[in-house]
Every structure is written in structure tokens, then in C-alpha cells.
């Protein structure tokens, strides 16, 4: 008898979809996003976003206004608390590492701004200038990671609530960030302690209905009703588990590459392996949503 074809995405007519790895990530071809008005194409892009969690579009010439318009297709723009936006585009900020800098922004596994009550469902990152080699970004499927847990571990995480903070040293260390990332317009890092939010450790994706782990060593201090000492070994184990190589994909950037990722069921990690070269990206987050 035929088995149920569970994770088989339906076919696409308006876009070309080339999976990047076993469980997440796809390169999307056949579309020019600037000014794209074809709603059928956008519906397929949104469907691919739910199926693959990380979408990579190559050779996209996008002004900040175009980036805003693409973002609107996924959700309303969100404000990032620690970096000033571009002139005229307060929601778009520049992620820059100069050749003489050694600290990067977004190094270490995390989902974006989980210390906010309503974190953005998607992040858009558009490459302006990229190193000749290095500076790739890793992504992992926290949905595949949840699925791979034992019944007992699922029962445990299903009952946990994470306390997430912007202040954690492992979160890139906001004060270290302030000192070392000279090219970026970073501010208000002394406010990091104040940004804290509680979210379910296993959250349910509103569109796919699938559960995913939603905690990180970078932002999760402890679990509600538990001490840091009690929480820490569980956080460490889950972090190692959810970044197992078979749950990941890797995006190599070129100028014009746009990646859109789903913060509800992925984490990412910007690899800092390109000292001496410049990397310049533009970032926008959209779709504030309460994790459930
Ligand atoms: C980020 O964490 O938003 C930055 C990712 C990157 O620069 O690759």
C-alpha cells in the first residue's frame, strides 16, 4: 500500500522552487520582486515560505522602498530596538562589518527579537556588498528539531514557558556590540535589561499547524517557575539538539541576494569568517505576532 506523502509540497506554477537541503530552505527563481504585482505569484511565494521556512531570491535589485514593499507582503513592518534605521526608512537598518572590524552582528544561533512580546514572523535580509568568500548564514529548522524529540521530551517542552531577554551576554553581549561594531548605528544597549518576554518553548505555527522549538541559548535566561541553574542544562541540551547538521541549511550571499526567513520555526547564525573584507546588508523585520 502507498504511504502517506506527508511533507510533499504541492507544485508551483508561477515560481521555480529549488530546495537547498533536506528539511528547510529553497531558492526561488523566475520572479523579479521589485514592483511584482502578480498576486498568484505572491500566493505561491507565501506557500513556499510555509513549506520551506527560508526563501532565497538571487539577483534582486531592491531599493529600501522596494524592500519595504516586499516586506509588506509578509506582514506590517516592525521596529528594531537597538539600531537606527536608514534615513527615510526607519524600519530598514544596515548590517555592516568593515574590513578592520572583528565582531559581527547576528553571530550565534537565535530567532530574532524573542525578548519582545510580539516578535516579527519574518526577517528580510538583502545583500548589498558581500565578501569574496565567507560571511554565509546558517539556518536551522526548529520544527524538524521538535519533531525529532522523544515523546517524553515533547511532553516536557510542551509544558515549558521561556523567559527571553535582550540582556544575555551570549546574545552577542549588547555592550560588546556597542563597543565593537563601529559601522552600525547601534544605540540604547543600556535598555537591554528592560526587554524581557515570556513565550511557549514549543510554539505552534499558525499557518502550518506544526510545532517548533522556540528558545535559544542567546536569548532564553530560564524557564518560568524554574531557577536558572535548573533551566540551564535543558536549554543547553535543546540548543545543541536543534542545531544538529541534518536540521540546517546554509545560504551563500551575493550582491542582490534576498533571504526571507520564518522566525517562528527557524534560527539563524551569521558566520564570522571574513575578517579583512566588507559585508553590507539591509535588514527588515515584519509581522509582529504573539507566539502561542
Ligand atoms: C541577523 O542575525 O539578523 C544577521 C544575519 C546576517 O547578517 O547574516
For ligand 1, the distance from its centroid to the CA atom of residue 124, given in whole angstroms, is 10
Report the pLDDT value the prediction gives residue 31, as an integer from 0 to 100.
97
Q: Which residues are catalytic?
A: 110, 112, 268, 283
pLDDT at res. 48: 98
Residue 167: the pLDDT is 86
SS3 state at 55:
strand
Q: Shortest CA distance to 199 belongs to which of 252, 163, 147, 238?
A: 163
- Buried-state track 161-196, b at ≥16 Cβ within 10 A, e below 16: ebbbbbbbeebbbbeebbebbebbebeebeebeebb
Give all strands (DSSP E) within the chain, no chain letters. Answer: 16-19, 26-29, 54-57, 93-97, 120-129, 137-141, 161-165, 196-200, 202-204, 211-213, 220-223, 248-251, 258-262, 266-270, 279-288
Residue pair 117/197 in contact (Cβ under 8 Å)? The answer is yes
Q: What residue's CA is closest to ligand 1, atom 6? A: 270
270 alpha carbon – ligand 1 mean position (Å):
5
Rounded-to-integer distance, Cα 274 and Cα 102, Å: 9
- Amino acid 189: pLDDT: 72
Beta bridge partners of 283: 93, 125
Name the residue at shortest CA distance from atom 1 of ligand 1. Answer: 106
Q: Residue 270 and residue 268: Cα distance in Å, rounded?
A: 7
Helix/strand/coil percentages in the chain, nearest 5: 25, 30, 50
CB-CB contact of 106 with 270 (8 Å): yes
Instruction: Please report the pLDDT score of residue 2 as a whole number.
Output: 42
> Which of 262, 270, 273, 277 maximizes ligand 1 atoms within 8 Å of its Cβ, making it the mutation to test the pocket?
270
Q: Report whether 99 contacts 278 (CB < 8 A).
A: yes
> Residue 179: what pLDDT?
46
Taking the centre of ligand 1 as the mean of its atom positions, its distance from the CA of residue 103, in whole angstroms, is 12
Q: Whole-structure pTM over 0.95, yes or no?
A: no
Half-sphere exposure of 134 (CA within 13 A, CB side): 13
- Spatial neighbors of 161 by CB under 8 A, at least 6 apart, are 198, 199, 200, 201, 223, 224, 225
Which residues are 122's β-sheet partners? 262, 286
10-residue stretch averages of pLDDT, the chain, 292 residues long: 49 96 98 97 98 98 98 97 93 96 95 97 98 98 98 98 85 50 72 86 98 97 98 98 98 98 98 98 98 98
Q: In this structure, are residues 191 and 239 in contact, taking their beta carbons and an 8 Å threshold?
A: no
Using most ligand atoms within 8 A of CB, pick from 83, 94, 106, 166 the residue to mutate for ligand 1: 106
Amino acid at each position: 500500500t502507498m504511504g502517506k506523502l506527508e511533507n510533499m509540497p504541492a507544485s508551483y506554477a508561477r515560481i521555480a522552487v529549488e530546495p537547498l537541503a533536506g528539511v528547510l530552505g529553497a531558492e526561488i527563481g523566475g520572479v523579479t520582486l521589485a514592483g511584482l504585482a502578480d498576486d498568484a505569484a505572491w500566493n505561491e511565494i507565501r506557500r513556499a515560505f510555509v513549506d520551506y521556512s527560508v526563501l532565497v531570491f538571487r539577483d534582486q535589485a531592491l531599493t529600501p522602498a522596494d524592500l519595504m514593499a516586499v516586506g509588506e507582503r509578509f506582514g506590517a513592518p516592525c521596529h528594531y530596538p537597538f539600531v537606527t534605521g536608514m534615513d527615510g526608512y526607519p524600519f530598514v537598518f544596515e548590517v555592516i562589518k568593515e574590513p578592520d572590524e572583528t565582531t559581527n552582528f547576528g553571530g550565534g544561533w537565535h530567532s530574532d527579537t524573542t525578548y519582545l512580546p510580539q516578535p516579527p514572523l519574518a526577517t528580510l535580509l538583502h545583500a548589498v556588498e558581500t565578501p569574496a568568500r565567507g560571511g554565509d548564514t546558517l539556518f536551522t529548522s526548529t520544527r524538524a528539531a521538535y519533531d525529532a524529540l522523544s515523546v517524553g521530551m515533547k511532553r516536557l517542552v510542551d509544558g515549558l514557558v521561556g523567559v527571553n531577554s535582550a540582556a544575555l551576554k551570549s546574545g552577542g553581549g549588547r555592550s560588546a556590540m556597542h563597543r565593537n561594531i563601529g559601522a552600525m548605528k547601534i544605540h540604547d544597549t543600556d535598555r537591554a535589561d528592560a526587554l524581557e518576554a515570556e513565550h511557549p518553548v514549543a510554539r505552534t505555527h499558525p499557518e502550518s499547524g506544526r510545532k517548533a522549538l522556540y528558545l535559544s541559548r542567546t536569548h532564553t535566561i530560564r524557564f518560568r517557575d524554574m531557577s536558572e541553574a535548573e533551566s540551564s542544562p535543558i536549554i543547553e541540551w535543546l540548543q545543541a539538539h536543534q542545531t544538529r547538521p541534518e536540521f540546517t541549511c546554509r545560504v551563500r550571499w551575493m550582491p542582490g541576494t534576498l533571504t526571507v526567513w520564518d522566525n517562528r520555526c527557524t534560527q539563524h547564525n551569521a558566520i564570522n569568517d571574513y575578517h579583512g573584507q566588507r559585508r553590507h546588508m539591509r535588514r527588515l523585520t515584519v509581522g509582529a505576532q504573539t507566539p502561542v
